[in-house]
Structure 1
Amino acid sequence: MSGGALSDPRLSTLVLRPRPPGLKGWITGQVMVAAPLGLGLLRRFAPLPRFGNLVIATLHDDVVEVFATDAAFAAPYRDKLDVITGGEPFFLGLADGPEYRGAVAAMRRVVRPDDLPGLARQAEALAEKAVAGAGGRIEVVDALVREVTFKLLGDYLGVPPPPKGDIRVWATRLFEFQFADPGGDPALRVQVDAIAPAMRAHIQGEMDRRRATGAAAQPDDVLGRCLALQAAGESWYTDAAIRTAIACLMVGGPPQPPMVVPQALEQLLRRPEALADAQRAARDGDDDLLAGYVLEAMRFDPLAPGLPRHVAAEATIAAGTRRARTVPAGATVLAAFASAMMDARRLPDPKVFNPRRLAYEYIHFGHGLHECFGRHINRATLHLMLKPLLRRPNLRRAPGPAGRLSKNGVFAERLVVEFD
C-alpha cells in the first residue's frame, strides 16, 4: 500500500464522514430518533415481528436467546472482516469450534485481567490532562473521549500513529464498514479498499521494526507479548495471526467509546439530579458507583439499537410461548438489545434511572459467544474518561446547539460543555 493512495482526494481526513445530504440525511437522522419509540411499540404489541426476511427480537429473553444460540443465529461478520484482514480469519467471524476457541485463548494470553487497573489509571490520567488543559470549555466527543481512547488503546495494543494517515480515521471508517454500513455504500468501500491494506501494512511494519531492533518484547504491550510468544516458538502466533488480531482489535475497540461515553453524558445532562449524584460519586472517588451511573446512562442511548444475526438453520425463537416465531434459514434476526434493556418483564421500572441495577440487566456489549472481547476494558475505563470532567464545578451545556449532542448516523458527533 503506497502513501499515495492515502493522499487520494476521495479520502477525507475527517474522522466521521459527512452526513448524507438532503432528504437521505434527514431520513437517516429521523430513523435514529424514532427507533426507541418504534421498538417500544413493537415490544408491547408485536415483540417478534417479521418484515420480509427480517425478524426483530425486542424482549430481553428473546435477545439473550438469539445471542446465546450461535449454531442457529450466526454472527454475519465474516465477509467484511475478510476485506479488512485480507482474507485472514479473526474470531469475531468464526463459528464455535477449535479454530475459534484457539484464537480466543491465544488473545486472552496477551490481553490480561491484571492489565485493567493500569488501564483504568491511565484512562483517568489522560482525561484529567485533557480537561485541565481545556480552559473551562471542552468538546467531549473528539477532544476528550476520542483523544483519550486512541492514546490509551493504541499504546496498549502497540499500534503507534502511522507516518502517513490518521489511525483515528482508519479505525473509525473500518468500524463503520464492518458494523454500520448495511447498505454497502460504494463511497465508503473506496476508502476501505485503501485504508484496510494500509492498516495491515502499518502493523506489519511495526512488527518488523521491533524484530529488527531486538525489541520484540518491549514495551510490554499486546503486540510485544505476541511477538515474545512467537519468538518462544508458540505456533499460533504467526505474523498473519498477530497482524490480523491487532488490526481487528484496533478497529473494534477505540471507535466505541467516542460513541457511547458522550451519549452517556448527554443522558446525565438531561437529568440534573442524576448528574449531581454522579458528580458527587466522582468527587468522592466512588468509582464503582460512578460506573453504575455511566452504565445506566448508556442504557438510555446504547451503542446501537441492535446487532444482526444470520439464521444459519431454521430455528424457533421463544418456543412454547404465544409469541413463538419460526425463522427460516437465510433470514436475518436483529437482536434489539436497546429494546431488551427497556423490557419491564426483566428490568424493574425500566424507565427509571437507577445506577444500582444488577449486571444481568445490561446487554451493552452483547452476550454469548461473540460478546465484545474488550468488554472488561470498557467496564474498567469508560466511566473514568468522564470522571475528571464530572469533578469540575458548575458543569453545564455550552450555549446554543453546540451544547446538545449531535449525531451522524450511529456515531456521536459533537457535544460541548463548560465548567468553572
Structure 2
Amino acid sequence: MIKLKYFDKVRAAQKSQRPLSEMPPFDIERLRTNGLASRIVGFFFNDPRWALALLRRFKPNLGFGNFLLVTRNADVRDILERGDEFETPYGPEMAELARGSNFILGMQDGAAYRQMKSSVLSAFPPAEVEAKVRPIAARHSRDIMMAASPGFDAIAGLLKILPVHICRDYFGLEIDDESEFADWAIALSALFFSDPTAKPVTRELAVVGGDRLIKVIDRSIDAIREKGQKDQPLARLVALLDQGRLSRPDIHSIMLGMIAGFVPTNVLAGGNCLDVILSRPDARQAIDAALAENDTAKLDRAIMEAMRFKPIWVGPWRYASRDATIARGTRRERLVKAGTVVMPATLSAMFDPDAVQNPNDFDTTRPHRDYLVFGHGIHLCIGAEIARIQIGESLRALFGKEKLRRASGRAGRLSNIGAYPESLKVDFEQPAFCHTVDQSM
C-alpha cells in the first residue's frame, strides 16, 4: 500500500536531510521519469474525465489506505470551504524552504494568515494588474513571436519564459537566466504539489532550487535599496521590512510562494490550455473568433473554458485535522477520520452534471460559478489576475501567427518533465516578406 507523505515522511525527510553543500548540483532532468509506471500514470492523467465520471456515479468518495478521493461538486466545494477541518498540508515544507516563515497557501485561517495575506495584497494589489502586467506580457509575447520560426517550441520558448519576464519587470526581481530561474521554481512546485510520496530526488532539487531563489531575492532586495525603487511588489515588501512589519524570512516566504505559485503553475496551465485548443476544433474556433474581433473578454472566456477541460491538477491536497463528516444527509455520507489525506477533485466537480449544465460541451458562456480552475474557498489563487493576463497575452501572440498548428509527429505532442509541460512545437506560415526569393541580376 502506498503511504502518502503527510506528515510522517515530511518530518523524517527534514530530520535526515543532508547539508546543502553535500547535495548534487541542480539538474532539472532529475525530475524526468521514463518507466512503465510513469507512462501509465501519464496516460491516465492526460484526460481522466472518463474515470472520474464513473466514480461520480458509482463510487463518489473513493478511499484506500489513508487517502480519500472526492468527486461530487457539492462535496468538493464543501471540503474546500471547511479549512478548519480540511487543512492545506503544504505548510511544513513551505516554511522550511523559506527558512522559518510560512506562506499563506500553507497556512490555516486565523490572525497570522490574515496578517500575511494583508501584506501580500498590499504588495501585489489586484487592482493594478491590468495596467501594469498586461503591457509587460503583451510586449514580451510579441517580441518572442516576432522572432519565432516554424518549429517553434511554444512551451520552452514562450509559456515558460514569459512568467519569468513578469517576475523581473513587475515583481522586481534581478534575474540572470530565465530558463534556469523557471526550473528552480518548478522544483519548488514539484515538492509542494506533485510529490505525495516524498521522493528524495524531488526534495533535493527543491532545497537546492529554493536556496538559489532566496539568493535571487536577497540580491534583488539589495538592488532595490541601492536604486531606491518603490513602485514594485518586492520594493513594497522591503518598505514593510524597514518599518519592522515584516521579517526577512517573511519576505522570503512571500516571494517564494508567489514565484512557485506563478511560474510553474502558469507553465502547467498555459501548456495544458494550448494542448486543448490545438486538440478541439470548438476551442480553436472560440479563440480565433475572439482574436478576429480583438475582444479580450471573449478571449479570456475561451481560455477559461479550455482550462476547464485540462486544469493544472485533478484536485489539490487536503489533510483532515480531525474527524469530519462529508455529504451529510445523503446516501454517500461519510466520516473522514483524522489523519486522512483528501483530494477534492476540482476537475471532476467541473464536469458534474448535477451542478454544471451540459458539462461536456465547450461553452464560453458558462456562469463563473462553474469554474474551479483557480480553486475555491480561502485559498482561491491570489495571483489569478496575473495568471489570466499572462496566459491570455501569450496565446494572443501565439495564435496571431497565420495557420498556427501542431508540428508533425512527436514534436507536436505535449511532453512533460515530471508533472510540468516541457515541450510542444508548432508550425505556422511565415509572412511573404520572410521568405527567401531568388533575385536575378
Q: 1:179 to 1:20 in 2, by over 3 A?
A: same
Corresponding residue SS for 1:417: strand
Match of 2:88 in 1: 75
Native 8 Å contact 1:283 1:391 kept in 2? no
| 1:260–1:412 contact (8 Å) kept in structure 2 | no
- Provide the rounded CA distance (Å) in 1 between the counterparts of 2:73 and 2:250: 36
**Could you tell me how far apart the structure 1 residues matched to 2:303 and 2:179 are?**
33
* Letter paired with 1:195: G
**Which of 101, 114, 128 is the aligned partner of 1:88?**
101
Name the structure 1 match of 2:337.
328
**1:83 partner amino acid:** E
Question: Which residues of 2 match residues 31-180 of structure 1 at below 5 A?
Answer: 31-33=44-46, 35-117=48-130, 118-162=132-176, 166-180=180-194
Q: Distance in 2 between matches of 1:25 and 1:192?
A: 20
Q: Which residue of 1 aligns with 2:276?
A: 267
Cα distance in 2 for residues equivalent to 1:387 and 1:330 = 45
- Over the matched positions of the two proteins, sequence identity in percent amounts to 30
Cα-Cα RMSD:
2.2
Could you say if the C-alpha distance between residues 410 and 191 of structure 1 is closer, same or farther in structure 2, counting changes exceeding 3 Å? closer
Aligned residue in 2 for 1:220: 231
1:279-298 mapped onto 2 (5 Å cutoff): 279-298=288-307
For residues 322 and 184 of structure 1, what CA distance do their matches in structure 2 show? 35
Aligned residues: 410
Matched, 1:196 2:210: yes
Q: 1:27 aligns with which of 36, 40, 64?
A: 40
User: How far did residue 396 of structure 1 move?
Assistant: 1.2
8 Å CA contact retained: 1:83, 1:196:
no
The amino acid that maps onto 1:125 is: R
Partners of 1:317 and 1:326 within 8 A in 2: yes
Provide the rounded CA distance (Å) in 1 between the counterparts of 2:241 and 2:352: 47
User: After TM superposition, what 4+ stretches of structure 1 lie above 4 angstroms from structure 2?
Assistant: 5-10, 162-165
Residue 346 of structure 2 corresponds to 337
Q: Which runs of 5+ in 1 are unaligned?
A: none
**How far apart are 1:174 and its partner, in Å?**
0.8
Measured after TM superposition, the shift of residue 28 of structure 1 is 3.0
The residue type equivalent to 1:160 in the other structure is E
User: 1: distance between equivalents of 2:378 and 2:247?
Assistant: 24
Q: Of 175, 198, 220, which residue of structure 2 is paired with 1:206?
A: 220
Q: 2:201 aligns with which of 187, 193, 206?
A: 187
More displaced, 403-412 or 367-376? 403-412
TM-score of the two chains, using structure 2 as the length reference: 0.87
Give the deviation of 1:200 after TM superposition: 1.8
> Contact 1:127–1:388 at 8 Å: present in 2 too?
yes
CA distance in 1, matches of 2:83, 2:159: 33
Question: Is contact 2:95-2:253 (8 Å) kept?
Answer: no
Deviations 1:270-307 (A, max 9, x none): 22243133112113210111111111111111101111
Shift of 1:247: 1.9
Amino acid at match of 2:136: Q
1:293-372 matches, cutoff 5 A:
293-372=302-381
Question: Secondary structure at 2:184's aligned position in 1?
Answer: helix
* Paired residues of 1:405 and 1:415 also in contact (CA < 8 A): yes
Displacement of 1:87 after TM fit? 2.1
- What is the TM-score with the length of structure 1 in the denominator? 0.92
Is residue 240 from structure 1 mapped to residue 253 from structure 2 by the alignment?
Answer: no
Query: Per-residue deviation at 1:8?
Result: 7.0
**Structure 2 residue ranges without an equivalent (≥5):** 1-19, 430-441
Aligned CA distance change for structure 1 residues 163 and 363 (closer, same or farther; 3 Å)? closer
Q: Classify 1:394/1:30 alpha carbon distance in 2 versus 1 (closer, same or farther; 3 Å).
A: closer
Q: Is the 8 A contact 1:269 1:275 kept in 2?
A: yes
CA distance in 2, matches of 1:121, 1:246: 22
